[in-house]
Amino acid sequence: MDAQMKKGVLEMCILYTLKDKELYGYELMKSIRHFFPDVYEGSIYTILRRLNTSGYTQITKKKSLNGPPRKYYSITQTGLIYLEQMLAEWKAIVNNVAALGIKVI
């Protein structure tokens, strides 16, 4: 898959994963890599930093029983709006591809 397309899809998937619960970075990375095993750990953390800088996520540090405090990521209201836009665009792309006669699962 094209790197730019993958980046956008991963961004959407990360935000979607965070829409109902907050997760710490490693937990989120494991969840995403389950579906995208060829994605590097560093790529996911890079996207998380960018989403946080853009105001789409926020970080809360919480104590950990096994080491330093963990950074928990959650989606912001701005992030939810951005996710809705991304999902609408994704659905339009899928519908347009299907309209061309290309079978989309």
Give per-residue pLDDT as tens, 39-95.
Answer: 888 889 999 999 999 999 999 999 988 889 999 999 999 999 999 999 999 999 889
Average pLDDT for 6-17: 92
SS3 content of the chain, % helix, strand, coil (to 5): 60, 20, 20
Q: Confidence class of residue 104 from pLDDT cuts 50, 70 and 90?
A: low
Report percent pLDDT > 90 for the chain: 68
Beta-carbon contacts of residue 63 (< 8 Å; ≥ 6 apart)? 69
The whole-model pTM stands at: 0.87
Identify the pLDDT of residue 64: 86
Helix (H) or strand (E) holding 18: helix 3-18
Three-class SS of residue 59?
A: strand
Identify the pLDDT of residue 105: 66
Three-class SS of residue 38?
A: coil
Q: How far from chain centre, in Å, is Cα 92?
A: 19
